[in-house]
Structure 1
Amino acid sequence: MRIKTLSTLVMLAVFLTACAATPPKIAQEKTVTVSGQTLKFGGKYDVEKNQLELTVNGDPMMKGAFPPYTPTQNFKANYKELKIASSCYFGSVLGEQGGTFGIIAGAIQASKSSSGDKCELFVDGESVETLYF
């Protein structure tokens, strides 16, 4: 009887731990046509791992983590002879730091209206779309 109770408690703990994981922030996909090519941009931000991944037509093209206390990240990649770049600003990176720093960072960002999480996308040097997370 003890083994059954113990195994039930272990399974419950594993289930609750899995439920407690923070889901990634997913950007709404945006489609643009550049030089006769249709590009579908997407992305996700894993809050727990501090990992941002941007995709082009479903292919992961740009990936990286935000350095400590830095809400910006820039990527460059080539896709089918096109130069793809992004300029990302994630206000939540600073706001989620917690403590006094997080409170102050959140207040400063709110005063500048820059607390959102977004990536501006460029193709061959021209801004084509913005992803919001």
Structure 2
Amino acid sequence: MIELKPLNKDTTPAYVLVFAAGSGLVGFLIVVLDLCGFLTGAKSPFGLSHGWKKTPILATFWPLGAAITGYIGTLLQIFQPTLLACATAGVAWHFGMQQIAKRARRQLEEEADTGDEEIEQ
């Protein structure tokens, strides 16, 4: 019987791996859902680009990214090992990575600008 109880160290020794696998599964389901939306409405709900080469790559790396995010997030205790957190990690990891990339890019540009000013002086 499936129980929707939170995972913990006492009942499930490998709870981090279970959470990561669940996050990866949710990530895969997101790609399938997005593909269905793309095929029926000719528009991707998540803004992903599909094609005969791109969709298999998405179906491989989106769940992998979700599983890694779920794994690291659980180890760092960012996520509580619940079903909702598992779904959140599977869906939102990509948007979080976009924000991190924007901030890192902005910081690198600011450092490059200050470095150019120092060279000119």
Give the structure-2-normalised TM-score.
0.27
Bigger strand fraction? 1
Compare the two structures and name the one with the higher helix fraction. 2
State the TM-score, normalizing by the size of structure 1: 0.25
